[in-house]
Amino acid sequence: MTAPSDSQGAAVAGRLAANPAMQRVPSPKAAVFQHRRFVSDALAGALIALIDKDRRPSTIADDNGDAYFRTSETCDLASSEPAVQQIEALLTQLSGIDPVFGEPLQGQRYAEGQEFKPHTDYFTPGRRDYARYCALSGNRTWTFMVYLNDVAAGGATRFKLLDKTFQPEAGKLLCWNNRHPGGEVNPATLHHGMKVRKGVKYVITKWYREEPWQG
């Protein structure tokens, strides 16, 4: 197993690049990959059901005063659920990251008109949220996100600084290193969960930390 800090993410990126099912975004600015049909329809359906059962309004770590910055709903997915155990095992096998570095799996639901405006997944050093959320387990390293369903219109994930937009497709995995090769946070990973124009979007997200997760 690999620690996310191993070679500042190079080991994980190398493992992903060696997987023939992975596609790497051709950009020197950030390590971003996608894997189509990573999750089966049956597993995606089971995860959607869990999200619908326990969803609640999403929040952001550092309140920026914009009440409409993140308008989705969120669900913490219990590790005791068979579907959660299955997706966790798939992510571990794919990434090679030791599960002790992972945050609990989260699910998100976006109804029509809902979005998550441009943001980064890491916590910015020196800001209030960094001191609060990174004291025990360090900053976020890798993000793994899976679209669980097709969306009738909208709901793409846009990396403006990479000039790349990913459309939601059932079962598609999107993952990226939130850091530069030297270990510094990477602002080029700024991304926008764009508004759903028609239908509903479901995703699950797994974040990894620099140190073992301590909640």
Q: Please write the tens of the pLDDT for every residue from 11-46.
A: 999 999 999 999 999 999 999 999 999 999 999 999
Break the chain down into helix, strand, coil percent, rounded to 5: 25, 30, 45
| Per-residue pLDDT at 68 | 47
63: exposed, middle or buried (Cβ count in 10 Å: 0-12, 13-18, 19+): exposed
pLDDT at 156: 96
Structure tokens at 212: 């073992």
Answer yes or no: is pLDDT of 128 > 90. no
At residue 110 the predicted structure's pLDDT band, cuts being 50, 70 and 90, is: very high
Render pLDDT for 91-109 as a digit per residue (tens, 0 to 9). 999 999 999 999 999 999 9
pLDDT band at 65 (very low <50, low <70, confident <90, very high): very low
Q: Given this model, what pLDDT does residue 2 score?
A: 77
Q: How far apart are CA 22 and CA 13, in angstroms?
A: 11
Residue 214 covered by a domain: no
Residue 97 to residue 39: CA distance in whole angstroms: 18
Whether 109 is in a domain gets the answer yes
Residue 215 within a domain = no
**Residue 179 in 3-state DSSP?**
strand
pLDDT of res. 164: 97
Strand partners, 157: 166, 193
Q: Is the pLDDT of residue 54 over 60?
A: yes
Q: What pLDDT does 58 receive?
A: 59
Residue with tokens 């089966």: 40
Tokens of 132: 């609060």
Beta pairing partners, 185: 179
Q: Which two tokens stand for residue 134?
A: 């990174």
Lowest-pLDDT choice from 56-65, 80-89, 140-149, 176-185: 56-65
Question: Checking DSSP bridges between strand 153-154 and strand 164-166, what pairing results, if any?
Answer: unpaired
Res 59 pLDDT > 70: no
1 assigned to some structural domain: no
Condensed to tens digits (0 to 9), the pLDDT of residues 158-215 reads 999 999 999 999 999 999 999 998 899 999 999 999 999 999 999 999 999 999 999 7
Degrees to nearest 5, angle at CA 94 with 89 and 95: 100
Q: 137 is in which domain, residue-wise?
A: 6-27+36-209
User: What's residue 62's pLDDT?
Assistant: 53
Count of domains for the chain: 1
User: Across residues 47-62, what is the average pLDDT?
Assistant: 76
Q: Please check whether residue 204 is in contact with residue 145, taking contact to mean a CB–CB distance below 8 angstroms.
A: yes
Is 85 or 118 the better-scoring residue by pLDDT?
Answer: 85
Residue 140 lies in a domain: yes
pLDDT confidence of residue 7: 55
Q: Is residue 136 part of a domain?
A: yes
Q: What is the pLDDT of residue 39?
A: 98
Q: For residue 99, give the CATH number of its domain.
A: 2.60.120.620
Is there a domain that residue 15 lies in?
Answer: yes
